[in-house]
A = this chain, B = another copy of it.
Amino acid sequence: MIARVSVTLKPSILDPQGTTIHQALESLGFKGVKRVRMGKLIEIELQGGSKAAAKKEVERMCQKLLANPIVEMYRIEIK
């Protein structure tokens, strides 16, 4: 089973990396970009078990290690 965890900054937190990408895209001539936000993608391959149990386990991983709840939020997809 594969869990895809997307960790992104909370909307209220400044994202200098995203701003830099935005500026780089504009200087390359890409018009119509309103905003860029940068985040992390963590793909975790898990052994067997049920989808519900996997989601719970990955939720605990996020709380303990993968995300910083002060400034980040996360979304988990199980495939």
Q: How many copies are assembled? A: 2
User: Which residue of chain B has its CB nearest to the CB of A30?
Assistant: B61
Q: Interface extent on A, as a size class?
A: 20 to 34
State whether B48 touches A43 (Cβ < 8 A): no
The smallest beta-carbon distance between A20 and chain B, in angstroms, is 11
CA distance A46 to B61 in the complex (A): 33
Known: A24-B65, A32-B49, A49-B32. A41 touches B41 (CB 8 A): yes
- Residues of chain A touching chain B, judged by Cβ–Cβ distance below 8 Å, are 6-8, 18, 21, 24-25, 28, 30, 32-49, 57, 60-61, 64-66
Q: Can you identify 9 A-B contacts, CB atoms within 8 angstroms? A: A7-B41, A8-B41, A21-B42, A21-B66, A32-B57, A37-B42, A38-B41, A39-B42, A40-B41
